[in-house]
Amino acid sequence: MPIVFAGAASHAPGMTAWTEAAPKEQADNFLGNYRKLGAMLAAAHPDVIVAFSVEHWANFFLNQMPSFCIGRAEYYEGPIEEWLRIPKARVPGDAKLGVELIDACLDVGFDPSFSDELLLDHATFLPLHFLNPDMAIPVVPVILNTLTPPMPTTKRCFALGKFLGSVLEQNARRVAIIATGGLSHWPGEAKHGKINIPFDKKFLDTLVNGDRTKLTEYSHEEINVEAGSGGHEIRTWIALAGAVQNWKAELLAYEPVVPWATGCGLVAFSK
Amino acid sequence: MSLYQLQKLLYHVNRDLSQRERYRQDPAAFVKNYDLSDDETKAALAVDVRALYALGVHSLLLRPFTLLHKVSNEDYAKALKGLE
């Protein structure tokens, strides 16, 4: 079976850690649609979730920072943040699929690093909390460096996603792909709390209604200035756009939630 | 300028429980394990949010580090005021 589900979602820690700080209408709309995306994933009965995700100094530091890292562990633990109000859990991995993806990448000239132990922070665990609430479906994390420059270009992220999509489409198992991060936010910075609504809306409009290859025109500098240091995480969405380039997309929710300091988006894709 | 070393110090305190414990026991001794300038040593020992930020510490190393020192959101934002 090929790819049976694709969805993209923001992962601001405030969504669970300080839910009540957000205006109730915004929180209800966004989190209600997060659960709806989870129901859509469940209805697709995936055997495995491939997560295009990021991390925030959970595993990697400046002594070794891979542009792309694919997990091939038997399981993953998280979240590392005690304050996230998400119970600590162990989610199964799919080492076999991880290895298959790594091998396939190496064959065509992508050279991801690999890892047999990735601790998951809110970037992956918060989406899993909504999309894989029993933590029962095995996960293969594909971690993109969106944390510190130099980062892989949007073009390269799109190309990697497109390639992984083509490989997964041929897989015998039912595969869900999720992308997590963004949209505009400046976490922990002097501009913390700023949200660039026009940037977010234009990005979402191109993703949902436009020519997705245009997403590869975002430069590092443009994202940095317009969407902030946290905005670099849209690279995961761009990778997903490559993976399901011809699928339809539906914007489930966009909420610029100031107390969560993030432009929060949710998009579901369908064949 | 030894920003890498300064960030390594914060990374270790944030992410490694045994190193965090050693740091808590004796911060002045702990920071000597890193090749820091005088300004960096001073900023680290004082948990001077503004100085650490201005020295270039990544915000996602700095905020967790300051959370360990119970720096509230309000105080954190106040410390960075004007640096936008």
pLDDT tens digits for range B47-70: 999 999 999 999 999 999 999 999
Q: Catalytic pick from A11, A129, A185, A232?
A: A185
Nearest CA to A123 among A177, A185, A164, A182? A182
pLDDT tens digits for range A175-209: 999 999 999 999 999 999 999 999 999 999 999 99
Handedness of CA B42, B46, B52, B53 (dihedral sign): negative
A vs B, Cβ pairs < 8 A, gives 46
Beta bridge partners of A139: A49, A93
pLDDT tens digits for range A208-218: 999 999 999 99
Q: Retrieve residue A22's tokens.
A: 């957000």
User: Is A185 considered catalytic here?
Assistant: yes
Residue of B nearest to A55 (CA): B60
- Per the prediction, chain B carries an average pLDDT of 96
Q: How many structural domains is chain B composed of?
A: 1
- Residues A128 and A135: beta-carbon distance below 8 Å: yes
The string of DSSP codes covering B15-84 is H-HHHHHHHHH-HHHHHTTS---HHHHHHHHHT-HHHHHHTT--HHHHHHHHHHTT--HHHHHHHHTT--
- Residues A105 and A128: beta-carbon distance below 8 Å: no
Q: b/e map of A54-72 (b: 16 or more CB within 10 Å)?
A: bbbbbbbbeeebbbbbbbb
* Helix (H), strand (E) at residue A144: strand A139-144
- List the domain boundaries for chain A: 3-270
The domain in which residue B46 lies consists of 3-80
pLDDT of residue A1: 58
Residue of B nearest to A83 (CA): B67
Q: Catalytic pick from A11, A56, A122, A129?
A: A122
Interface contact B59-A56, CB threshold 8 A? no
Nearest CA to B74 among A256, A259, A228, A26? A259
Interface contact B60-A188, CB threshold 8 A? yes
Q: Retrieve residue A111's tokens.
A: 């050279």
Q: In terms of CATH architecture, what is A3-270?
A: 3-Layer(aba) Sandwich (3.40)
pLDDT average, residue stretch B3-23: 97
Interface contact B60-A187, CB threshold 8 A? yes
Interface contact A62-B4, CB threshold 8 A? yes
Angle between helix B17-25 and helix B3-15 axes, rounded to 10 deg:
110
Residue of B nearest to A229 (CA): B59
Asked if the interface predicted TM-score (ipTM) of this complex is over 0.90, the answer is yes
Q: Retrieve residue A157's tokens.
A: 């992220």
Q: Which residue has the tokens 């949200």?
A: A195
CB atoms within 10 A of CB A151: 19
Contact residues, chain B, for A83 at CB < 8 Å? 67
- A-side interface with B, Cβ within 8 Å? 56-58, 61-63, 80, 83, 147-148, 186-193, 229
The CATH code of the domain that includes B46 is 1.10.700.10
- Residues B39 and B46: beta-carbon distance below 8 Å: no
Burial of A99 (0-12, 13-18, 19+ CB in 10 A): middle
| d(C-alpha A213, C-alpha A217), whole Å | 8
User: How far are the Cα atoms of A86, B14, B70 from residue A13, in angstroms, in the given order?
Assistant: 10, 17, 18
| d(C-alpha A193, C-alpha A187), whole Å | 8
Smallest CA–CA distance, residue B29 to chain A, in Å, is 23
pLDDT less than 50: residues of chain A: none
pLDDT of residue B84: 87
Q: How would residue B1 be classed by pLDDT, with cut points 50, 70 and 90?
A: low
> Which of B8, B63, B81 is facing A188, going by the closest CB pair?
B63
The whole model's pTM is what? Answer: 0.97
Interface contact B15-A58, CB threshold 8 A? yes
Alpha helices in chain A (DSSP H): 14-17, 24-43, 95-108, 122-131, 154-169, 197-209, 220-231, 234-243
| d(C-alpha A251, C-alpha A51), whole Å | 19
